[in-house]
Amino acid sequence: MARALNSNEMHEVSVNSWEEFEQQLKELRCREGDSASRLLFRGQEQSSWSLATTLERNDKAEMSFGQYYGFISKVRPQIECFTGNVWTIPEYPEVEALVKEFDEFSLGLSSGRMPAYSYMVHLRHHGFPSPLLDWSRSPYVAAYFAFSKADDKSDGKVAIYVFSEAAFKLGGNRMPFIHRFGPYVKTHRRHFLQQSEYTICFFFDTQWRFEQYDKVFSSNRQQQGNLWKFIIPSAQRLKVLKLFDEYNLNAHSLFDSEETLMETLALRVLHF
């Protein structure tokens, strides 16, 4: 039996089946009312994993935005050479000065603007460590990512996170901020196929730095919105993936490559 949901706190909800998750999601959307259309979803193949960016996983959790911008500026010529794309982004000294200004940079973030956002999205979709945490507006896309690589031969569990951004947020020095970006950006097609949006977690001391999501959603620091973590048995994997494939939600439709076509066909003929 799933634990009942309450509002205005962080939730962890265990369910026994995909159908039970869908029922919980339906109840959550009803409770969210007008905000339900703005919910974000993220799937993770192991429920024990924390909510963390790929930059955090590379042990760079509190790197400054200026430092990170320097790194991605440095590799841009090589990436442009191999992809044929060109990104017009601010020069590094300009951004290095900007991130030391609390008000100016904060105003840009609040308006959904961030230096080199489209370039950063492209990097994120191709495996370069990123401070962007990727979400989907679709719970089914998120669930696909949770189940696609999960181990269904064990008693493991996957997680689907649901984030409801606060309408009004507190702010100040050393206080973490979660800013939401997307979906209107010209970038890689996967961004649109996966109905992607992104969040980035910051705090300011003498300059803007990245913050860990675990610190934001710890007790007494819940000021950026509500977060639900739904835990589902990974044994549901093939049932869920077969259901999704009937609606053409699969690796090929989400990534559109020859490799993912092979992955999708193999799953159909060997397991469905």
Q: Which of 3-12, 52-61, 143-152, 208-217 is predicted with the least confidence, judged by mean pLDDT? A: 3-12
Per the structure block, which two tokens stand in for 100?
A: 């030391």
Sign of CA dihedral 258, 138, 122, 146: negative
- Give the count of domains, the chain: 1
pLDDT, tens only, 217-256: 775 555 788 899 999 999 999 999 999 999 999 999 999 9
Q: Which of 5-9, 13-17, 169-173 is predicted with the least confidence, judged by mean pLDDT? A: 5-9
Q: Judge whether 243 lies within some domain.
A: no
Cα 116 to Cα 147: distance, rounded to the nearest angstrom: 32
DSSP at 136 = E
Statement: residue 202 has pLDDT above 60: yes
Q: Judge whether 244 lies within some domain.
A: no
Cα 224 to Cα 270: distance, rounded to the nearest angstrom: 44
Statement: residue 1 has pLDDT above 50: no
Q: Judge whether 178 lies within some domain.
A: yes
Statement: residue 166 has pLDDT above 90: no
Statement: residue 195 has pLDDT above 80: yes
Residue with tokens 């974000």: 40
Q: Judge whether 127 lies within some domain.
A: yes
Helix axes 18-32, 237-246, angle to 10 degrees: 60
Confidence label for 215 from pLDDT (cuts 50, 70 and 90): confident
* Percent of the chain with pLDDT strictly greater than 90: 68
Cα 22 to Cα 250: distance, rounded to the nearest angstrom: 19
Q: Judge whether 62 lies within some domain.
A: yes
Mean pLDDT value of segment 45-64: 91
pTM recorded for the entire structure: 0.91
Do 191 and 255 form a contact (C-beta atoms < 8 A)? no
Higher pLDDT pick, 170 / 266: 266
Confidence label for 39 from pLDDT (cuts 50, 70 and 90): very high
Q: Judge whether 158 lies within some domain.
A: yes
First to last CA, the chain: 29
pLDDT, tens only, 113-141: 889 999 999 999 999 999 999 999 999 99
Q: Judge whether 113 lies within some domain.
A: yes
Q: Judge whether 55 lies within some domain.
A: yes
Domain that holds residue 213: 11-235
User: Tell me, what's the pLDDT at 171?
Assistant: 63
* Percent of the chain with pLDDT strictly greater than 70: 92
